[in-house]
Structure 1
Amino acid sequence: MRKKRRSLSGEHNLTAYTFLLPWLIGFFCLTLGPMLGSLYFSMTKYNLLSPPQWIGFSNYVEIFSEDQTFKNSLFLTFKYVFLSVPLRLAFALAVAMLLNKGIRALGIYRTVYYIPSLLGGSVAIAIVWRQIFDGNGLVNKFLGFFGIEGPSWISHPDYIVYTIVTLSIWQFGSAMVIFLAGLKQIPADLYEASQVDGAGKVRQFFKITLPMLSPVLFFNLVMSIINSFQAFTPAYVIGDGRGGPLDATMFYTLYLYLKGFSFFDMGYASALAWIMLIIVGLFTAVVFATSKYWVFYGDSKDGR
């Protein structure tokens, strides 16, 4: 009897592993393997044309002690993340709350607002954005109607990063759809009871909407932080592909790309990639660690 049970258990395990096999192959061959290879290359001098030479932690030492471009690109990326993430989430939540009012043709509006997120960081959208914010683009032509002479938003180092931030905010559709789904799950009874108690719209938002929506906000925040740190295409296309003007678009990922595929220093680029992985991991860990203070889970025992 025990042998029969073991045989059935073995057959079930074999079936399970058979279905898992495509994912396991993809994980080990396309994720774990390249990550370990990158970790090895980060400790070598490797130009893609000759065999890598082991140099230990020299790449990391050079990055932190001598590479000023690394520091500048990291600061610029932090600036972009701290500007784009809260503005994008706030805009997405505002639009989601407007669409949650029970307006007609909700599906059409939801689709229209979601289309920019579907296009994502495509080259075509970045080119269109570059044309809109050019010195003779639509934005300056619109300002010209009011007698305002706008600058060349994409060629001035003080403005171009805000142009890229604006593009990120415009692509708010995915976060908006998730917020809208969360808003649909908030019981209407809570708002009705609060109205009886004399609570206004502002108090309802901070006492009901935000706490009940906090798990959704938590998810959108984590995903937005990760995606913002990986921003590459807008900086590459809207800028000149080299971080210009005056390194105003030298995002971290662009600097990594230039080091690896323009200067053929793949060992150095791999070290940059691992530093970015650690930075993103730290930001994500901080969000997870602080979530117990502001994320509300109504079904937990302690009321959170």
Structure 2
Amino acid sequence: MADVVVDPGVPPDDAQLLRESRRVLIKMRKGWAPESKRAISSTHYRMMSAFGTVVFFGVLAGFGLVGRGLGLMLVLLGIPLMVALFVRGDLPGDEEEEYEREVYEHLRWYEGRYVLIDDLDESSGRLLARAQRAIATVTESQVNVEGLLDDVRNSVMLPAQEWEIARLLAKLSALRAKHRETVSKGVTPEVAAVAEPLARALDSSEEAVLARVEALERYASNVADAERAYVAHHQIEELRGRVHQYEELVAETGADGFAVPELERLAQDADRLEQALRRSVHSAHEAFRHLDP
């Protein structure tokens, strides 16, 4: 199951970045924002400071303002310090910080146009997983790839269905969590009289989303039937294409008792499977119509 569901209206490159940035998105959801970028990076600042210190004491030693031994010692200490600071500037943490800054600058405009799986409670997570499995059944099927279904509408309608289901489940999960937090403190009869109908409203909303998911599952079931018929049809056609080879072998070996009934059944099976394929594809089209808004 994808960790991030994105509004289909988000540009494809940004949508892909959203899907790949779950950890940063979670930090952003909690209020994180990177520090403002300085004119001089912290790495350069450290390097310049170290370099300046080494040069300063070298000059003092040169003018005899500090002992040459002390100046030399400070220079010798300063060089490895500068090297260490330079190396520290190349640590992965700095690269990670810069990457997170770039992601933040790119994605901070998309709040409300993605749903993190972490946003969903357990019940909602199960419903979304069911919807995504149904969608995968359709989009990954050969009958869809081969264009026997309305693949163009599938490519538009199914992501829209996934997004709408995820969006509604995120709202439901958030409101249900707040409701439970409120009533968990104990309620008076007066509060219960208000809270119970609101709880039923939450349940009704979940049932409405469930109906959407079940419609997707019915469509996926019809597509699965069409897929089985499609595969079987092609297998039968492959066998039919080799019938003459079987006939030659039977004739050459003298196994005449084999041929006629089996070959007749093969032709009948091919016809039945072709009809089943047409019926199942038609049923899938009918089921798809119920997904239209």
Return the TM-score normalized by structure 2: 0.24
Higher relative contact order (CA 8 A, sep 6+): 1
Bigger Rg over Cα: 2
Normalized per residue, the structure richer in helix is 2
